[in-house]
Structure 1
Amino acid sequence: MPKRIVDFLSKTHEIPKAEADILMSLVKPMTLFKGEYLNIEDKIPRHGAFVISGILREYYTDAKGIDYIRRFAYENWWMVDLYELLHDKPALCSVQAIEKTELLTFTKEDCNVLMEKCPISTKVLQEISAAEKYSLAKKEKQKRSLTAQENYESLLKLHSGIDKRIPLFHIASYLNIKPESLSRIRKQMSLIK
């Protein structure tokens, strides 16, 4: 299973075998069951993660107790804020499993070893972190400039069948709409088909 993370990183840069061996020795498998947390808002995160299978949601809760989902992490993607992890900063968001989720996790100490002994892997992780921040900002801009239906269609296009795996109230939260609005959108879309 740890080889999956090396395979992923190798898509953009060839990872030398010595670095791959170090990286595979650092990551630890973890299983989160539906509803369990990787990180909790306002607490210092102890792990970053690479998703092997399953889905995580990253969200924050407002003063009224309403959850706002920032993003989902699917198979072969990351869920980490390197700044929070490396600098012991309280998490701005909670990270929770939507379904049983298999992860490869790493700690601040693992990152320090990686930065010291694995320059190419470190460079790739930094590039991924920067790309993730850009992607998150781009998605936020898109969500504000498109209609709720267009955003929902875009989500389904990017992640076919995701509406069968993620509860609709979570998808509605991600789209910044009420569940009733998402139900109306889904009904309209089914009538068009």
Structure 2
Amino acid sequence: MISSRIIDFFSQTHEIPQSEIEILINLVKPTTILKGEFLYIEGKTPKHGAFVLDGILREYYTDAKGVDYIRRFAYQNWWMVDLYELLHEKPALCSVQAIEDTNLLTFTKKDCELLIKKCPTAASVLREISAAEKYSLAKNEKKKRSLSALENYETLLQNHPGIEKRIPLFHIAAYLNIKPESLSRIRKQMNLTKS
């Protein structure tokens, strides 16, 4: 059962009561977004949050010159939601787009409100996940700024082996905040070092 994946994830830190599990399973909706499609768009109010079953999403914003800055990638068993934006119907600060066909479990503002009202344990876990995600993003940004582009690329490959075969290199370059040509040089340098 697909929705049991989200229960397994929630249960890693807290034991979820059976009554809440039944509600939670009925709240999430299996959804597929195809490569290039959006979960939500910068400046528009998000209609859904999501739990990634498989596939990859990118979260990014675009500056005044039209340059994309990728904040993060979301892989299998990751969340893609800003609870503040979703619950308070605020315009999204970033866009979220599928890099490959991606299967999700989605939930709406109404689903979140029902979860908070009827599932205190699961709601507590969701709030913890949201807070941990914000902390992790800030920590990752700080770390990215303190390392060289080569070190950041090596870290990405270490944490997600094979990811360079699934994510286009221009997206990886945008994530590293460098030009694609610079990433090509880094990759050549790494290949020479291995030889």
After TM superposition, the score normalised by the length of structure 1 is 0.99
- Distance in 1, matches of 2:49 and 2:132, equals 16
> 3-state SS of the aligned residue for 1:24?
helix
- Report the alpha carbon displacement of residue 156 of structure 1 after superposing the two structures with TM: 0.6
Report the equivalent of 1:79.
80
Report the equivalent of 2:149.
148
Which deviations, in whole Å up to 9, do the C-alpha atoms of 1:97-142 show, x marking residues without a partner? Answer: 0000000000000000000000000010111001000000001001
> 3-state SS of the aligned residue for 1:166?
coil
Which deviations, in whole Å up to 9, do the C-alpha atoms of 1:134-182 show, x marking residues without a partner? Answer: 0000010011000000000001111111000000000000000000000
- Distance in 1, matches of 2:141 and 2:95, equals 18
State the superposition RMSD in angstroms: 0.4
- Report the alpha carbon displacement of residue 64 of structure 1 after superposing the two structures with TM: 0.9
- Distance in 2, matches of 1:129 and 1:71, equals 15
Counting only pairs closer than 5 Å after superposition, residues 81-96 of structure 1 correspond to structure 2 as: 81-96=82-97
Report the equivalent of 1:120.
121
- Distance in 1, matches of 2:43 and 2:134, equals 20
The 4+ residue runs of structure 1 with deviation greater than 3 A are none
Residue identity matched to 2:159: L
Report the equivalent of 2:70.
69
- Report the alpha carbon displacement of residue 48 of structure 1 after superposing the two structures with TM: 0.1
- Report the alpha carbon displacement of residue 22 of structure 1 after superposing the two structures with TM: 0.5
Aligned identity (percent) is 75
Residue identity matched to 1:179: P
Report the equivalent of 2:28.
27
Report the equivalent of 1:45.
46
Residue identity matched to 1:44: T
Runs of 5+ consecutive residues of structure 1 not aligned to the other structure: none
After TM superposition, the score normalised by the length of structure 2 is 0.98
Is structure 2 residue 103 aligned with structure 1 residue 97? no
- Distance in 1, matches of 2:191 and 2:11, equals 41
- Report the alpha carbon displacement of residue 26 of structure 1 after superposing the two structures with TM: 0.2
Report the equivalent of 1:9.
10
Report the equivalent of 1:190.
191
- Count of residue pairs the alignment pairs up: 193
- Distance in 2, matches of 1:92 and 1:184, equals 32
Which deviations, in whole Å up to 9, do the C-alpha atoms of 1:60-103 show, x marking residues without a partner? Answer: 01111111100000000000000000000000000000000000
- Report the alpha carbon displacement of residue 34 of structure 1 after superposing the two structures with TM: 0.4
> 3-state SS of the aligned residue for 1:35?
coil
- Report the alpha carbon displacement of residue 190 of structure 1 after superposing the two structures with TM: 0.8
